[in-house]
Structure 1
Amino acid sequence: MANAADIGLIMLISIPILLAIGVPISISMGIGSVLAMSTVFTFDRMAITAAQRIFSGVNSFSLLAIPFFVLAGIIMTNGGIARRLIDFAKALIGFIPGALMQTNIVANMLFGSISGSGVAAAAAIGGAIGPQQKDDGYDPAAAAAANIASAPSGMLIPPSNTFIIYSLASGGTSVAALFLAGYIPGILWGLACIIPAMIYAVRAGYKAQGFAKFQENLRVTIDALPALFLIVLIVGGIISGIFTPTEASCIAVVYVLVLSFAYRTITVQMVPGFLLDTAKTTGMIIFMIGISAVMGWIMAYAKIPNIIASSLLGFTDNPILIMIMMNVIMLLLGCVMDPTPAILIFAPIFLPIAMSLGFDPVHFGVIMVFNLSIGTITPPVGPILFVGCRIAKLKIEDVFKPLLMYFLILIAMLIVVTFTPALSLLLPQAAGLIR
């Protein structure tokens, strides 16, 4: 029977090799886990154990929220809501130099806070505002960088699928508390992105659009109110206990569907296509969760999390250094892994360490999601990076230089969020969700 070192070595070697030859990450994780299990169990027991782990991994009522929030995001992307949010954002922030870049950032925050998807925000908002930026003479790379860097703010501002997954991986941390905890860090993410965009705009000589007339601002605000009300409806309903996050996701679908039909931007014939896209996206996520459950179980069986925790705590007993080390590890993980598998695999490993250092599970969830959100705009995986580049019709190397300033300020903001617990815990404590 293999020991923990052998099991860890098998997974450490097999999974990177499979990824290097182009095998999808979920399949690579599954094969690596099966190879590791084959050193411990007979084939029959291995098959039964793997099946049980997959079933238990996806057998969660909270996970039902994911397909509905995904569907709501897809309907919003096609339902004309993005354009109304862009007009509202322009009314809010059009007086700052580089108005269209700033509008892009604020609109990404608003769209992400409704759809829960950074990828959807980058595609919908970037696709809608990109032609106008081009007509106004904005540098395509700089405009794309602002769109890409600000889109992940929606992964922190609720509703957020990543927080739902963290709740599952952490053993049941309150989704409502996580949703509220993400507000301030998510808003800080967006505000941090405004600074590099403004610096670039001043250097490039982009002018502000000035203040619009009161009547115009009132018109676009009224036009955007139905979409903005969804934030109040969903988050307010969850926090007040009127409905669960899963029920909220269903309400979100009905609301944006009715709203899009009212705007006459979608037709009944388009709905089957939305359902198919939702099934494809959700299928990938749920399959990843099931495979991650197998991988997490074999790692726990071999006591690999305990070994990692002992190694970190044995290296130093300074809580600041340990948290910095975990942040660096999570940043590196975010560069090569999608947030879903990264959370499922490493939350059970790192959370006990963080709690032993006095960190609240809700606060650590925000830290983890913030880290992995930076990874979504970082090569070589970076799904938001790739979507943003595709929307702008640019290569990654074209936007990487203007992205560097955003990386620096976001990492600085990560440090602030990590060592200022009140930013994450203030709202959940005020709502009585945590002590």
Structure 2
Amino acid sequence: MTANAAAGMLAAAASLALSAPGRSPLALRLSLVAALAVLALGCITLLEYAGVRMEIEGWLPRDASASHGRPSPQTALGLTLIGLCLAFLSRPGRRRGMLCDLGAISLVTLILVLVSGYVYQMVELLGLSRTNLTSPQTFFCLFLLSTVIVVRRASAIGWLSFWFDGGIGSRVGRLVLPLVVVTPFVAFATVGYLDSADILPPAYTRAVETPIVVLTALAVIAWMGRVTNRLERELRSQSLKDQLTNILNRRGFFSAADYAVKNAIRLRAGLTLFYFDLDGLKKINDSLGHTAGSELITSFANVLVATFRKTDVIGRIGGDEFVVLASGACGTAEVMLARMTAIIAARATADPLLEISFSAGYAETAYPAATKIDDLIAQADMMMYERKQLKKGAASLVGAIAKTEFLFPPITPSLRGVRLSPA
């Protein structure tokens, strides 16, 4: 690395550090000055190669063994592009951002050209001669600075923001990017080795090289397809699951319920739909906070998972409303509810703070083909509402009796210990 190139790299690094988001206006001005210095150094070097005598070799001390102290044209072009990008980064704007994106893409192209020069031993891609090359140290610095600039632009709004987007296409792009970059170099390096090794006659070598390139492309496509399918399954699962309880949400429940109904029709099995509503959730949220309410909802979902089978469809379709579609469970609804009550009682014994009260209703059908899920939900909801009202009425009656006994204690004296004389 020549002294001029090293000075340019240091100035570029300083400019990049000073232009980081959140810096003061003074730091931004210093960053602009450093970026312009890098830009000037790159442009002057390119002018030297164009025939304009600027005597850049004598600006900084250099190695006596070097033919001259001027950076290679590729290094000068890299410094120019880095200086332009840093100047635009220090003064953000829409048009400057577009120019910065163009500069970042040009930097990526230059880095790929330099990599090709090193991989395929092409001196013309690295400099004018073997005494005027882009050294590995210079290439490494250019690569680091270019990477930071590209990442900075990708995190902003612009052409490169695709790589930081949250969409499935961006996620696939980030995952397969290393494979896409490395694979062509490996494939063509293999082809070059076959050409230079004279292992096979030229005609046979071409016949072998073509399948290598085709298989490499197919491997990249297959990898992208596998990654896309996996991400699609993850996104579909997230869209159908309730984030709080990890059971199905409303959309997921109806999607799974359609499949359960078709399976019940095929097996000629009956269906039972349970409808649950938590009691007193609003009071818990108001008195203990929404965190306690969320814990109650999660605990009840865990009770449902522990009570019903894995083949049953369990979902949360509202804030405190849950539904379960059980296949082949006709005539056992009350048994299932009793099992739930026992599980809740056992958990309350282990944790006295865990008090779950719920109201439940259910609807059964022996002919799934003639019944819609919405109708079953409506019937179970109606039963649940009636039971909830009866529970409230019973609680009100008990409360009224207790209040009456408190206000008007019994006036009949106790007969215990009283001796009655005969008439």
Fold shared per TM-score above 0.5: no
Using the size of structure 1 for normalisation, the TM-score is 0.21
Query: Whose helix proportion is higher, 1 or 2?
Result: 1
Question: Which structure would you say has the larger Rg?
Answer: 2
